[in-house]
Structure 1
Amino acid sequence: MGTTTSPAFSADTLRRGLESKTEKDLLQLYADDAELRVIDHNTQPSNPMVMHGRDAIGDMLRDVYSRDMSHKMEDCIVQDDRAAYSETCVYADGVKVSSESMIRLRDGKIVEQTMIQAWDE
């Protein structure tokens, strides 16, 4: 009987997850107890949107990946238990979203992420 393991975190696994057509590959990279903070025009630094746990993060990612848009990882740096990356998304109507994320890893899984994003208005 074999066991299925999630892929180890790397710039390549992150790229595959981000640029996929669904949230499934990306969601595998998060620990069960992960926390994601999002800072943007609507959820400013003094009151960011905070999601606790992979289930809550999965709900947000399912919503994002249900939209008619593309995702592209621009840059990624992974060092020890830290990572940072830039992502550009483009909606079908041409509206662009740019984000920067800082990540903390534990045992090859994302346990903390802070994302700052901005979009065309």
Structure 2
Amino acid sequence: MGSAPFDTETLRRGIEGNTDNTLLSLYADDARIRIVDRDHQPSHPTVLQGRVQIAELLDDIYRRDMTHKLEQCVIQGDHAAYSESCEYADGTRVLAESMLTLRNGKIADQLIIQAWDE
């Protein structure tokens, strides 16, 4: 049985859902995520390799008391880009921009640039 194609609504369900399982299912087994933010600058990003490390990150994120919203998404061929906004219960906001490389309908590579209220 084939997997569902990568589309905006699938991504929205993954991001805005209350569990990390839907979002994790969008990643290829050997996917890589690079995260750039105030603490991990472009020369030394956080790098996660494979679904095990990605699952640990998503589990940590989705255990927090916060909401996630997919703001915009553009998909063209084997690339996609999206904006996500998050808000903690105390009102602290986070914005993240992602660029994706897709392979067979799954995320193979993701670059996340994020900023948050301080």
TM-score, normalising length: structure 2: 0.98
Listed one character per residue, the Cα deviations across residues 26-78 of structure 1 (whole Å, up to 9, x for unaligned) are 00000000000000001110100000001100100000000000000000000
Asked if 2 retains the 8 angstrom alpha-carbon contact of 1:73 and 1:88, the reply is: yes
**Deviation of the 1:8 alpha carbon:** 2.0
Q: 2:78 aligns to what?
A: 81
**Secondary structure of 1:55 counterpart:** helix
In structure 1, what is the Cα distance between the partners aligned to 2:61 and 2:51?
15
Is contact 1:6-1:29 (8 Å) kept? no
Partner of 2:37: 40
Segments of structure 1 that go 5 or more residues without pairing to the other structure are: none
Aligned-residue sequence identity (percent) comes to 55
Which secondary structure does the structure 2 equivalent of 1:13 belong to?
A: helix
Amino acid aligned to 1:83: A
8 Å CA contact retained: 1:6, 1:28:
no
Quick check: 1:74–1:86 contact (8 Å CA) kept in 2? yes
Instruction: Give, in whole Å, the separation in 1 of the partners of 2:15 and 2:6.
Output: 13
TM-score (norm 1): 0.95
**Counterpart Cα distance in 2 of 1:119 and 1:67:** 15
The aligned runs of 1:9-88 (5 Å cut-off) are 9-88=6-85
Q: What is the number of equivalent residue pairs in this alignment?
A: 118
Establish whether residue 98 from structure 1 lines up as the match of residue 95 from structure 2: yes
Is contact 1:15–1:73 with CA below 8 Å preserved after alignment?
yes
**Structure 2 regions of 5+ residues with no counterpart?**
none
RMSD: 0.8
